[in-house]
Amino acid sequence: MLIKNRPGWEMPESQATPESVFLNRRSFMAGGAGLIAGSTLPQVAAAQGADPTLDLYPAKKNAAYTLDRPVTEEDLAANYNNFYEFGTSKDVAAASKKLVSRPWTVTIDGMVEKPLEIGFDDLVRKLPLEERLYRFRCVEAWSMAVPWTGIPLKAFVAFAKPLSGAKYIRFETFLNPRMASGQSQRWYPWPYTEGLTIAEATNELPLLVTGIYGKPIPAQHGAPLRLITPWKYGFKSVKSITKISFVAERPKTFWEGLQASEYGFWANVNPEVPHPRWSQASEQVLGTRDRKPTLLFNGYGEQVAGLYKGLESERLYM
Ligand code: MTE
């Protein structure tokens, strides 16, 4: 339920990144700096086989984004995933270790001033990073609450400089069936693709996520770069992005390609619009016995409801 005078997504500050994560970062910095004098932190990290972006974590918390429920335990979130490239069960954490996330090139193309191919480690240092607590609601009617670290998508769009004809952004995951055996299953329309309108993308909420729980994002959550759109069902949050294209036409998405009658382009959370095969009225909160009522736009209506004025004839909630 919404608490008076507090937005629906608020939670106590005490639920933020654990101190141990912060302290680990400090000890890494101290140890690394002593190991190779004169090296930059990313160089030290690479020499140690660690993630070259480790020095960026934990990122500054954006205190405006708080919740109404405890943060889901890290282990739980890390072992209950959807990543069809590595299998269709929730137990894909081990299989997804096959994901080779370095080197990782991101292509920015389509209707932009200057199409670009850029290494992920360069990209992440060109743009602002922050940590936000968000609720996350899967279309399968389970939910969690997670501290994501990421680049506000709005800042990325400004960096990409789209041309005026660009109306949508299309996101694409890698395609490599030898690395990701799920992609050998030809009945899926690989690669995984998703899309947003430019208006949605430049709203304050969407994040291009690079980290979780105060650390670089692990494989099973979509390393090294994924989308998070907290007011939409989780399938919109495409993982392991290699290509971001600015386009004039609405892109066809992975799930639309598979089953358009059940999974559409908009996929905004709405408890009153059931999935054709189950209710969306409530959600199972991971790690608890709680079944909570689902909120319109997952509780983020204040930020996003205005985006859909005039679009009422669209299937906005599927
Ligand atoms: N992205 C890719 N590339 N492949 C996927 O299978 N699954 C989606 C989304 N992004 C998926 C994906 C679905 S259905 C959900 S609910 C979320 O990722 C799950 O994110 P999580 O595993 O980090 O909780």
Q: How confident is the model at residue 126 (pLDDT cuts 50, 70, 90)?
A: very high
- Residue 260 and residue 171: Cα distance in Å, rounded? 18
Pocket of ligand 1 (CB under 6 A): 81-85, 138, 173, 192, 221-222, 234-235, 237-240
- 15 falls within a domain: no
Range of the domain at 271: 57-301
Ligand 1 atom nearest the C-alpha of 139 is 16
Whole-prediction pTM value? 0.88
Residue 39 has pLDDT above 80, yes or no: no
- 216 falls within a domain: yes
Dihedral sign (CA 106, 158, 196, 228): positive
Minimal CA–CA distance to 205: which of 2, 9, 4, 6? 9
CATH assignment of the domain containing 171: 3.90.420.10
Which residue is associated with the tokens 């081990």? Answer: 94
Q: What angle do CA 311, 296, 220 make, to 5 degrees?
A: 100
- 13 falls within a domain: no
User: Count of domains in the chain?
Assistant: 1
- 289 falls within a domain: yes
Q: For position 8, what pLDDT does the model report?
A: 40
Residue nearest to atom 13 of ligand 1 (CA): 235
Amino acid identity for residue 48 in this structure:
Q
Residues 115-137 have a mean pLDDT of 98
Q: What angle do CA 46, 47, 48 make, to 5 degrees?
A: 90
Residue 32 has pLDDT above 50, yes or no: no
Residue 145 has pLDDT above 70, yes or no: yes
Which of 88, 173, 183, 239 for mutating ligand 1's site (highest number of atoms within 8 Å of CB)? 239
Cα separation values, 159 from 114, 124, 152, Å: 10, 12, 11
Ligand 1 atom nearest the C-alpha of 83 is 6
Tell me, in angstroms, the distance from the centre of ligand 1 to residue 136's CA: 11
Residues 21-35 have a mean pLDDT of 40
- 6 falls within a domain: no
Q: For position 49, what pLDDT does the model report?
A: 74
Q: For position 50, what pLDDT does the model report?
A: 87
- 194 falls within a domain: yes
Which residue is associated with the tokens 């992005």? Answer: 241
pLDDT, averaged across the chain: 90
Contact 133, 67 (CB under 8 A): yes
Q: How many CA atoms lie within 13 A of 164 on its CB side?
A: 0
Contact 25, 37 (CB under 8 A): no
- Residue 134 and residue 68: Cα distance in Å, rounded? 10
Contact 33, 40 (CB under 8 A): no
Residues 37-46 have a mean pLDDT of 61
Tell me, in angstroms, the distance from the centre of ligand 1 to residue 196's CA: 16
Residue 246 CB contacts under 8 Å (≥ 6 apart), including other chains: 109, 110, 111, 112, 160, 162, 163, 166, 168, 169, 198
- 2 falls within a domain: no
Residue nearest to atom 9 of ligand 1 (CA): 235
- 207 falls within a domain: yes
Residue nearest to atom 14 of ligand 1 (CA): 235
| pLDDT per position as a tens digit, 239-272 | 999 999 999 999 999 999 999 999 999 999 999 9
Q: What angle do CA 292, 294, 299 make, to 5 degrees?
A: 115
Tell me, in angstroms, the distance from the centre of ligand 1 to residue 208's CA: 14
| pLDDT per position as a tens digit, 55-110 | 999 999 999 999 999 999 999 999 999 999 999 999 999 999 999 999 999 999 99
Residue 5 has pLDDT above 60, yes or no: no
Which of 193, 235, 253, 298 for mutating ligand 1's site (highest number of atoms within 8 Å of CB)? 235
Amino acid identity for residue 91 in this structure:
D
Alpha-carbon torsion angle 210, 212, 213, 214, nearest 10:
0
